[in-house]
Amino acid sequence: MVVISARGLGKEYKLGAQVHDTLRDQITALFRGRRRPSAEKFWALRDVDFDVEEGDCVGIVGRNGAGKSTLLKILSQITEPTEGEIRIRGRVASVLEVGTGFHSELTGRENAFLNGAILGMTRAEITRKFDQIAAFAEMDAFLDTPVKHYSSGMTTRLAFSVAAHLDPEILIIDEVLAVGDAAFQKKCLGRMNEVARAGRTVLFVSHNMSAVTALCTRGLYLEHGRVKAAGTIEEIAEIYLQDALPADGQTGFRRGKTRGSGQIIFTDAAVGSETLSGSVVCGSGMKIWFKYEATRPGLAAHFVVNIFDRQQTRLMSLDSLTAGNLPQIFSQKGEVTMELSPEFALTPGRYLLELSALVHSEVTDHVPGAVEFEVKDGDFFGNGRKSCNTSALMIKTQWSVQGVD
């Protein structure tokens, strides 16, 4: 049975309009008899059609500005569509943020009741589930302490715990997983999985593709306010990752200005995290793969892999002779895969891979810019946060402190 069905959905926003007009502006405009220049408009969402079946767990994915949040807001009735309609069958609970309505002066207990009521629970329901909520949040000692004395982790745990005990037929969630420490996050994911398994319909919006694939069965891919693709989550993930490849469409290997004797040449190469998709997620490790052909078998060769950033700075130079454990003698044709430790990562951006093959110290093939690839933001430290910054590299660290008072 179809529980959510959207037809021709669109939402138009005014761009750059002064939304908080002052009365003075309006009054002066009235006297001058001049109308303010009409604001530029843009469609955040347009012609969106989709259906959600009962019990589906749908991941809504898309890049920034694709219209995901707008769609969520329309689904949760926070904002009205400009055109089109959605039909929804069943009780909806939407959690666009954990802890909506939390007030620092109120105690944990008071906030739990208030937040529960805001999320749509009845007083009786909250009272009944209160012990479970407190237990799930791993707190009972501080329930009557004002939230302002809580650590941010405690507040988040309590807030999520309230949200996790919602019992709707349709649950709409926005990125709320990106909270708390890693252990609590696992617990949350587990809880969401339970909800999904219990036959409830779940709509989940996230940038985090791995969370979406772990949780959802189906996907809806938005791009520039339109539905780009809808299908099983595997299909959607595939398309989504494909799109992360360089914009000119040359996803893979490119032999541009090469030089070398030609005794060994590269015939193909690719980069990726788990698969050789052409993009790397920060924190998920990195793989470099290439194919070679030699004029004869048994050459004593080695390969050099360089990674450059867009400014042509050589960030890494990895030589199979010094770094790898490859044999010294190679067969005539072959494939080589190199894995980089996830302890370290490049930060989000575009990079170029340069390949060289050498026999003794003579260059047989040199391919600058063999593969262009993208590194995407990810949960590098495994704590649920997008942690990458604009520096060149990320590395896992151990911190310690010795306080002196």
Residues that bind another protein (CB under 8 A): 13, 19-24, 26, 73-90, 92, 94, 96-97, 100-101, 103, 105-106, 110, 113-114, 117-119, 122-123
Nearer to another protein, 101 or 334 (CB): 101
Residues 6+ apart with CB under 8 A from 13: 41, 42, 43, 44
Cα 121 from chain centre: 30
| C-alpha to C-alpha distance for 322 and 394, rounded to whole angstroms | 23
Nearer to another protein, 22 or 390 (CB): 22
Cα-flanking dihedrals φ and ψ of residue 253, to 5°?
-80, 145
Determine the longest span between alpha carbons in the chain, in angstroms: 90
Nearer to another protein, 118 or 392 (CB): 118
Question: Least Å distance between CB 43 and another protein?
Answer: 14
Pairing mode, if any, of strands 201-205 and 170-174? parallel
| Residue 11, strand partner residues | 45
Pairing mode, if any, of strands 299-309 and 170-174? unpaired
Question: Least Å distance between CB 49 and another protein?
Answer: 14
Place of tokens 């004593």: 300
| Amino acid present at 344 | F
Residues in the chain: 405
Question: Least Å distance between CB 19 and another protein?
Answer: 4
Question: Least Å distance between CB 76 and another protein?
Answer: 6
Look at residue 268 and give its three-state secondary structure.
Answer: strand
Nearer to another protein, 40 or 274 (CB): 40
Residues 6+ apart with CB under 8 A from 122: none
Give which of 223, 257, 259 is closest to 243, Cα–Cα.
223
Residues 6+ apart with CB under 8 A from 143: 107, 108, 109, 112, 134
Nearer to another protein, 123 or 350 (CB): 123
Look at residue 263 and give its three-state secondary structure.
Answer: coil
| Amino acid present at 258 | T
| Amino acid present at 48 | V
Question: Least Å distance between CB 158 and another protein?
Answer: 16
Question: Least Å distance between CB 74 and another protein?
Answer: 7
Nearer to another protein, 83 or 377 (CB): 83
Question: Least Å distance between CB 48 and another protein?
Answer: 12
| Residue 2, strand partner residues | 53
Nearer to another protein, 148 or 310 (CB): 148
Cα 19 from chain centre: 31
Nearer to another protein, 11 or 376 (CB): 11
Question: Least Å distance between CB 105 and another protein?
Answer: 5
Nearer to another protein, 42 or 335 (CB): 42
What's the half-sphere exposure (Cβ side, CA atoms, 13 Å) at 77?
6
Question: Least Å distance between CB 110 and another protein?
Answer: 7
Question: Least Å distance between CB 146 and another protein?
Answer: 8
| C-alpha to C-alpha distance for 266 and 263, rounded to whole angstroms | 10
Nearer to another protein, 13 or 130 (CB): 13
